[in-house]
């Protein structure tokens, strides 16, 4: 009898947990730019990509941790009549810890809003003909992200924006110490809803 009650209790706990848990593998595009360029330099955003997954725990209010790998590019240019232009590409590993609220919560359609901190770890830098290296960039960047998500049955679509709180360049590098640029990144992902939020 105790075994039967234990199995029933375990089944109830597991069904409740699974009813409020989702895994969301996603792929998408990014558009990243930097703020506050130094005198004589212009920054121009460029398209990149991201790939990863979120987890969602909860119902109306939910917790959304996630991990993504992305490649972002910013174009630097200088000069008026004769322009020198080169792109700097960075591969990042991003950790997310967002909280959200389902604004619309129907069986086949959800609209949700999420906000929270993220942290980017620079994995590699490709600077073309420029003399930047990984050591010139901060090894990590704290951000505040906001996203508006749409869940339609099996599919999820999420436009987002990320505001950098940390400096882009390492302030210990003398020639870059006065440049106070921050990242601003727009994203759009499409993915799958695996699990149940009802």
What is the C-alpha separation between 128 and 192, in angstroms, rounded? 35
Q: pLDDT higher for 152 or 167?
A: 152
Question: What does pLDDT average to over the chain?
Answer: 81
pLDDT at residue 148 greater than cutoff 90: yes
pLDDT at residue 143 greater than cutoff 50: yes
Which tens digit of pLDDT belongs to each residue from 54-85?
A: 999 998 999 999 999 999 887 767 766 545 55
* Ranges of each domain in the chain: 22-196
The pLDDT value recorded for residue 174 is 52
Which tens digit of pLDDT belongs to each residue from 7-53?
A: 544 444 444 444 589 999 999 999 988 776 667 677 788 899 999 99
The pLDDT value recorded for residue 167 is 80
The pLDDT value recorded for residue 185 is 93
Of 1.20.1250.20, 3.90.550.10, 2.40.160.20, 3.30.70.890, the CATH number of 22-196 is 2.40.160.20
Confidence grade of residue 157 (pLDDT, cut at 50, 70, 90): very high
Going by C-beta distance under 8 Å and a sequence separation of 6 or more, which residues neighbour residue 142?
A: 117, 118, 119, 164, 165, 166
Which tens digit of pLDDT belongs to each residue from 90-111?
A: 899 999 999 999 999 888 899 9
Residue located via tokens 């706990």: 13
User: Could you tell me if 46 and 187 are in contact, meaning their C-beta atoms sit under 8 angstroms apart?
Assistant: no
């Amino acid at each position: 009898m105790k075994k039967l009650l234990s199995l029933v209790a375990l089944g109830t706990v597991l069904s409740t947990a699974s009813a409020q848990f989702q895994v969301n593998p996603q792929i998408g595009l990014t558009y990243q730019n930097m703020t506050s360029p130094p005198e004589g330099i212009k920054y121009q955003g460029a398209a990149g990509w991201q790939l990863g997954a979120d987890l969602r725990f909860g119902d109306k209010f939910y917790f959304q941790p996630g991990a993504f790998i992305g490649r972002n590019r910013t174009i630097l240019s200088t000069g008026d009549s004769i322009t020198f232009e080169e792109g700097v590409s960075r591969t990042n590993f991003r950790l997310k810890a967002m909280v959200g609220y389902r604004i619309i919560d129907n069986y086949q359609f959800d609209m949700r809003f999420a906000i929270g901190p993220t942290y980017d770890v620079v994995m590699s830098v490709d600077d073309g003909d420029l003399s930047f290296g990984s050591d010139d960039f901060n090894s990590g960047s704290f951000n505040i992200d906001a996203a508006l998500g749409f869940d339609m049955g099996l599919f999820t679509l999420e436009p987002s924006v990320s505001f950098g709180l940390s400096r882009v360049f390492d302030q210990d590098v003398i020639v870059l110490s006065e440049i106070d640029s921050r990242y601003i990144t727009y994203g759009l992902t499409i993915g799958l809803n695996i699990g149940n939020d009802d």
